């Protein structure tokens, strides 16, 4: 929130008021605020106003305004902020306020709240002020008049330090909803490849306990039983297929999947390259017409919806044809989880096409392929820098007019290195929840990592279950 004022409201670190005697007709003050989805959620939590026009994107899309809008009194609260901190400032007593709501305020809109002194009454030290909220297009969306009692003594003090508020419930709620939804589906028979450490074996057994999978443990039996005994894990009732070593386990699991004897594959304690080499082998029968790629399904408290990042795990430096398949695979995943027409942002370092930056050329070509029907079922735009892909305000600042910008469901990275760094930053600095799955094969493949937490492993398994059932109706 950026304040500006002709009334000397102090510095960024201090608040200073204007007394009744110091205030003159025509004095004014203003603040600027960009509306975020988190603002709407916080206001709904505090006020209890959960009108679906404000908190349910699907419902809001069917209303006359065509999308989520801010509560009218969110803007009214900003007027109160100007009066209480700038003009007159600390010591002000609100007497009355009238407001007229003239237009919607949408996520990403920049609202400038301006108050101006229009009257003074010495008998009771009251001040009348006109109030207006103007969006980035110059349209007045809220207006009215306020009457306050102005302070009679000078007040100057340090600004209060407020706690940072972060909405943490979203990703956890999504996990519970995902598990509840998938829990209604039959468990899928899953080959768990070489789970010969405590972490991977415990994860497979926990997914079994949650009713997600019927694990088939493909590994050296003696080693597996030793790990279970040391960790106190019960293998009773679990099918075990003895394999002499990890390489043989990967080949055997891939063959099971190719023959339709299992509906998914879960990585254990072997290297990803070792497993994927067996998966892509011609003898396994798991290849489709698509390039195999990896998708991270993520949700961070700072973004209003789950989104997909691809490919951050398999394809090192994909060319244009490979990127087209990476996009198609991600779109298929989006469809499977219920996003009918996902918005796909093709990421690059900049949002303009430059011959010196191949990622921007690929982005432009992918968008043209979508225009010509070569990539179906989604809305593509690119190149888009990361900020433009996830922030409507950032896109508007740069003059980008796009139905994808700021609302992306899928983020397509230029290469594995940039994607891997992005995902890890989102997880470790952005408190993102994540699930990972390999697309483009005949069955979903879970490439869980030793660093993955319990929630991530369960979420990855739940997504694989969802895909396995989806593939029964629409084989890849």
Same domain, 143 and 226: no
Three-state DSSP class for residue 254 = helix
Same domain? 217 vs 106 = no
> Is residue 4 one of the residues assigned to a domain?
no
**DSSP letters for 380-410:** EEEEE-HHHHH-HHHHHHTT---SSTT--SE
Same domain membership, residue 259 and residue 313: yes
Whether residues 271 and 364 fall in one domain: yes
- CB 125, CB 21: distance < 8 Å: no
Please indicate, yes or no, if residue 115 is contained in any of the structural domains. yes
Side-chain half-sphere exposure of 176, counting CA atoms within 13 A: 5
Give the model's pLDDT for residue 2.
Answer: 44
Q: What would the DSSP string read from start to end of 256-311?
A: HHHTTS-SEEEE-SS-HHHHHHHHHSGGGT-B-SSPPEEEEEEE-TTSSS-EEEE-
Q: What pLDDT is stored for residue 36 in this prediction?
A: 84
226 and 97 in a common domain: no
Q: How far apart, in Å, do the first and last CA atoms of the chain sit?
A: 48
Q: How far is 1 from 3, CA to CA, in rounded Å?
A: 7
Q: Looking at the structure, tell me whether residues 176 and 323 fall in a common domain.
A: yes
- Total domains in the fold of the chain: 2
Q: Are strands 28-34 and 110-121 parallel, antiparallel or unpaired?
A: antiparallel
Is the same domain home to 261 and 397? yes
Q: Is residue 160 part of a domain?
A: no
- CATH at 404: 3.40.718.10
Is residue 165, in this structure, part of any structural domain at all? no
Q: Do 464 and 402 belong to one domain?
A: yes
Per-residue pLDDT of the chain (476 residues; tens, 9 = 90+): 444 444 445 445 578 899 999 999 999 999 998 888 878 888 988 888 989 888 888 788 888 888 889 999 999 999 999 999 999 999 999 999 999 999 999 988 889 999 999 999 999 999 999 999 999 999 999 999 999 999 999 998 876 655 544 444 444 455 566 667 777 789 999 999 999 999 899 999 999 998 999 999 999 999 999 999 999 999 999 999 999 999 999 999 999 999 999 999 999 999 989 999 999 988 878 999 999 999 999 988 778 788 999 999 999 999 999 999 999 999 999 998 888 899 999 999 999 999 999 999 999 999 999 999 999 999 999 999 999 999 888 888 888 888 899 889 999 999 999 999 999 999 888 888 888 999 999 999 998 776 777 778 888 899 999 999 999 888 88
Domain span including residue 104: 16-151
- Please report, for the domain that includes residue 73, its CATH number: 3.10.129.10
What pLDDT is attached to residue 201?
92
pLDDT of residue 411: 97
- Amino acid 7: pLDDT: 43
What's residue 177's pLDDT?
A: 67
For the record, the structure tokens of 454 come out as: 């319990």
Cis peptide before 123 (omega within 30 of 0): no
> What is the per-residue pLDDT for 350?
93
**pLDDT in the model for residue 458:** 86
Q: Same domain, yes or no, for 137 and 250?
A: no
Q: Running DSSP on this structure, what letter comes out for residue 23? A: -
Q: Which of 151, 182, 200 is the last residue of a domain?
A: 151
Residues 246 and 309 in one domain: yes
130, 206: one domain: no
**317 and 438 share one domain:** yes
Confirm whether 10 is domain-assigned.
no
- Domain's final residue, options 119, 151, 183: 151
Residue 463 domain flag: yes
């Amino acid at each position: 929130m950026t304040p500006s004022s002709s009334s000397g409201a102090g510095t960024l670190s201090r608040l200073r008021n204007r007394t009744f005697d110091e205030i003159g007709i025509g004095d004014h003050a203003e603040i600027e605020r960009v509306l975020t989805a988190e603002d709407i959620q916080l206001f709904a939590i505090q006020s209890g106003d959960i009108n679906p026009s404000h908190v349910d994107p699907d419902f809001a899309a069917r209303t006359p305004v065509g999308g989520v809008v801010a509560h009218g009194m969110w803007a009214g609260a900003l007027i109160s902020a100007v009066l209480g901190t700038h003009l007159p400032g600390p010591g002000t007593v609100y007497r009355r306020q009238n407001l007229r709501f003239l237009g919607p305020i949408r996520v990403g809109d920049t609202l400038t709240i301006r108050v101006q002194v229009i009257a003074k009454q010495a008998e009771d030290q009251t001040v009348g002020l006109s109030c207006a909220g103007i969006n980035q297009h110059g349209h007045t969306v809220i207006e009215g008049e306020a009457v306050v009692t102005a302070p009679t003594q000078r007040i100057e003090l340090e600004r209060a330090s407020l706690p940072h508020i972060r909405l943490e419930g979203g990703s956890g709620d999504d996990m519970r909803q995902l598990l509840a939804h998938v829990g209604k589906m039959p468990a899928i028979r899953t080959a768990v490849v070489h789970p010969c450490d405590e972490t991977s074996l415990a994860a497979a057994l926990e997914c079994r306990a949650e009713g997600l999978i019927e694990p088939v443990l493909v590994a050296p039996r003696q080693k597996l039983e030793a790990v279970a005994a040391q960790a106190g894990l019960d293998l009773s009732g679990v099918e075990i297929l003895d394999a002499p070593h990890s390489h043989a386990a990967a080949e055997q699991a891939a063959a099971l999947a190719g023959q339709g004897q299992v509906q998914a594959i879960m990585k254990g304690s072997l290297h990803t390259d070792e497993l994927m080499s067996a998966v892509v082998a011609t003898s396994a029968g798991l290849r489709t017409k698509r390039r195999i790629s990896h998708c991270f399904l993520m949700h961070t408290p700072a973004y209003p919806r789950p989104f997909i990042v691809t490919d951050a795990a398999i394809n090192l430096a994909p060319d244009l044809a490979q990127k087209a398949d990476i996009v198609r695979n991600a779109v298929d995943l989006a469809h499977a989880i219920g996003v009918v027409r996902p918005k796909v942002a093709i990421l690059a370092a900049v949002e303009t096409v430059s011959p010196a930056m191949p990622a921007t050329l690929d982005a432009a070509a992918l968008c043209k392929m979508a225009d010509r029907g070569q990539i179906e079922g989604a809305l593509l735009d690119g190149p888009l820098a990361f900020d433009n892909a996830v922030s409507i305000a950032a896109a508007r600042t740069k003059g980008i007019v796009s139905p994808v910008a700021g609302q992306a469901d899928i983020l397509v990275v230029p290469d594995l290195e940039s994607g891997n760094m992005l995902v890890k930053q989102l997880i470790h600095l952005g408190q993102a929840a994540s699930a990972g799955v390999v697309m483009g094969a005949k069955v979903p493949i879970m490439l869980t990592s030793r660093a993955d937490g319990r929630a991530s492993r369960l979420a990855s398994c739940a997504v694989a279950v969802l895909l396995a059932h989806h593939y029964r109706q629409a084989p890849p």
